[in-house]
Amino acid sequence: MTFPDVVPLFPLPNVVLFPRMALPLHIFEPRYRAMVRAAARGAHLIGMVLLRANWQQDYFGRPEIFAVGTVGEMVHVEELADGRYNIVLRGLREYVVRRELDAGTPYRQAVVAPYEVDRAPVDGALRAAVVGLVGRYLERRGGTAERALLAPGIEDEVFVNFLAQHLDLPPLDKQALLEAPSLGARAARLHDVLEFALEELRASGCGSRPRAH
């Protein structure tokens, strides 16, 4: 892809998008309806980014965001009769915010640059260890869609990014996974996050719990 110099920002408190992953979104706030309309007329690109703590205090202003996000391409846009939208983003590449612009739009825009991630293959032993932890985690928490990604023929990037995005993990843990400097480091962090989550489940004596939607 030709990396954009400027992207519209879509900050959310609980969503982290990873490259090569799909993300369905329902757009209802007027400022983000305007963002979707503008993106549909242009490059179809949106910069997903995670809100920092205490975002509620200034949600309709400019609450603080993490510097690293993922540029997503709108691959599906459905405008509803009342002006809301259903869209699907496909993650393209990680980016870092250089500075925000005062562009006069109701939504935020930022000058961005690629966030370089080494996509060399993941060590086989590490991948096997992650597969084992994911299996145990899903036994405890429930989940079926993730199991299909444990097959050995799946590309490393798809394997790691799918689990990072779709496992029921805290948003801050997902942000740490996104910011990993390499695919191997992302897999290693995923391994550590899963180990910690399993230890918490053991300590609390909890099994599966309802999944958030």
Domain segments of the chain as ranges: 6-114, 124-204
Q: Where are the strands (E) in 102-204, listed by range?
A: 109-114
Q: Are 148 and 138 spatial neighbours (Cβ–Cβ below 8 Å)? A: no
Q: How far is CA 45 from CA 5, 17, 40, 113, 206, in A?
A: 11, 13, 8, 14, 41
**Predicted structure pTM score:** 0.91
Which range has the worst mean pLDDT, 13-22, 138-147, 156-165? Answer: 138-147
φ and ψ of 59, to 5 deg: -60, -40
- In this prediction, residue 140 carries a pLDDT of 84
- In this prediction, residue 209 carries a pLDDT of 41
- Our CA angle for 65, 70, 71, nearest 5°, is 115
Whether the pLDDT of residue 124 is over 80: the answer is yes
Whether the pLDDT of residue 211 is over 70: the answer is no
- In this prediction, residue 210 carries a pLDDT of 34
Whether the pLDDT of residue 207 is over 70: the answer is no
- In this prediction, residue 208 carries a pLDDT of 45
- In this prediction, residue 159 carries a pLDDT of 94
pLDDT mean over 82-96: 98
pLDDT mean over 61-87: 97
Could you tell me the fold of the domain covering 6-114? 2.30.130
H/E run at residue 177: helix 171-178
